[in-house]
Chain A
């Protein structure tokens, strides 16, 4: 737990000293304006709450991919992987602490989007089912952390990690149904979407801000957690094998 806390605090310091890390907090309000403008101009006020929720999910995914997913790549380039692995502290605990720190940071986008809706368009996030909304956001952030561990493990040895993460963002927004529900996607894509926890999260988030009762809330929330845990487990296994290979072949340092 101490390693987790240390990782959490470390990442907060890194965010503070790196203005580029603030990027999602700049883009989330802009995406909220874009989506709100589209639905307003099209005369669809019923989609306004969805337009406000989509940038929150996009921000969390962005943070999981671009920041959390490339943590270890950054460490490797800065020759930090060797001392981290040599220390008795569990790498996974430190990593998870750092990733959770980033996820908490990403959740700030919810308040930004809320403010943009209120100040620019005079619309608030409708808190129709506040408990469900809160639990969905928390579980989504946890599942995102699991996904980030997988990305981190998969990308640590790649030459162009940033090119990969850059290429993955919009395909994930699309498959995850962050604005357009998976049901509207072509039939052949839907099975792929259904194994992504993001599609469950986005459906639940939309349901939480709509007036109608949230159907089968607990099983759907359970799927978010289950798929997020599966991501984390895959990430742990991949990380184990990747680190073993790197240690054996002397590839821990980027040079």
Chain B
């Protein structure tokens, strides 16, 4: 079997393991009655702030931003992958195996990008009409691949962070939650990027979600296709950049953990 075929084989099995994990957490009923209700409530919470401000445009701005945030938020949940492996006691085995851990992690948590995108689209297409927002047909269809792009870019970012916190299990949840709330604060979700000081605006451009969200706002505003594609390309580049950083750093960080014996769940 060639190296590529072996890698694909590992990724396929890891992806199936991820799906099995997810099915152990949620049934479609508990997903709808638990997770999806939370997602809708989260988006409605912010949209209602717009209502309180008495500004329909602001309501729609908050609704779109916070719907798309869900795709990024779930993508960042990939950080939990390493922690889960550690709790299960399988992390040392994974690191000791000839396959690269990052290949396994990136495939195993790939369902998160799909789940996040579906949750975000489910929130946007249900909460949008509930708040009286216009979904321009057929232009709105462009939102679907753009949301998936946001989910994938955020997933790459989460995988990179997973490498960083690989050896520090005790701060895993702290990093997950702080990261997604930081994305909520910095990526133009609730206020335009121009509201921030210039250095922060520049930094936000290197985070997942920012450029993809601009592309999606462009779809709703009816901006020229070239501008939307430009922002989408930037989102793709950012996601690719974070995934490359993950690939480059993950194995080195894992090796360090192997050397100092900090990989087992007792560490």
Contact = CB atoms under 8 A, between A and B. Distances in A.
Contact of B48 (A27, A39, A168, A180): A180
B204 interface: no
Contacts of A173: 41, 45
A41 interface: yes
A226 interface: no
Contacts of A39: 53
Contact of A38 (B35, B170, B173, B191): B191
Contacts of A23: 173-174, 177-178
Interface in B177-191: 177-178, 181-182, 184-185, 190-191
Interface residues of B, number: 34
Contact of A163 (B34, B37, B178, B190): B34
B38 A171 contact: yes
A22 B44 CA distance: 27
A97 B48 CA distance: 37
Contact of A174 (B34, B48, B181): B48
B49 interface: yes
Nearest to B189: A34
Contact of B191 (A20, A37, A170): A37
A134 interface: no
Contacts of B170: 18-20
A20 B177 CA distance: 10
Contacts of B108: none
B171 A38 contact: no
For the residues of A in contact with B, the DSSP-based class is helix
A171 B191 contact: no
A27 B190 contact: no
Contacts of A184: 48, 51-52
A38 B38 contact: no
B1 to A, nearest CB: 38
A166 B192 CA distance: 28
Contact of A160 (B25, B37, B44): B25
Nearest to B182: A30
A47 interface: yes
B26 A163 contact: yes
Given A20-B171, A184-B48, A171 B178 contact: no
B55 interface: yes
B217 to A, nearest CB: 15
A230 B240 CA distance: 53
Given A23-B173, A23-B178, A167-B34, A180 B52 contact: yes
A185 B191 contact: no
A93 to B, nearest CB: 28
Contacts of B44: 174
Highest count of chain B CB atoms <10 Å: which of A18, A30, A35? A30
Highest count of chain A CB atoms <10 Å: which of B44, B170, B177? B177
A35 B51 CA distance: 14
B122 to A, nearest CB: 14
Contacts of A169: 38
A4 interface: no
Interface string B47-60: 01101110100100
Contacts of A111: none
B173 to A, nearest CB: 5
Nearest to B53: A42
Contacts of A26: 174, 177-178, 181
A70 B75 CA distance: 25
Contacts of A180: 45, 48-49, 51-52
A37 B195 contact: yes
Nearest to A38: B190
10 contacts: A23-B178, A26-B181, A34-B185, A41-B195, A160-B25, A163-B35, A167-B37, A173-B45, A180-B45, A185-B48
Interface of A: 18-20, 22-23, 26-27, 30-31, 33-35, 37-39, 41-42, 44, 47, 160, 163-164, 166-171, 173-174, 179-181, 184-185
Q: Which 6 A-B pairs have the closest CB atoms?
A: A167-B34, A170-B41, A170-B42, A171-B41, A167-B38, A180-B48
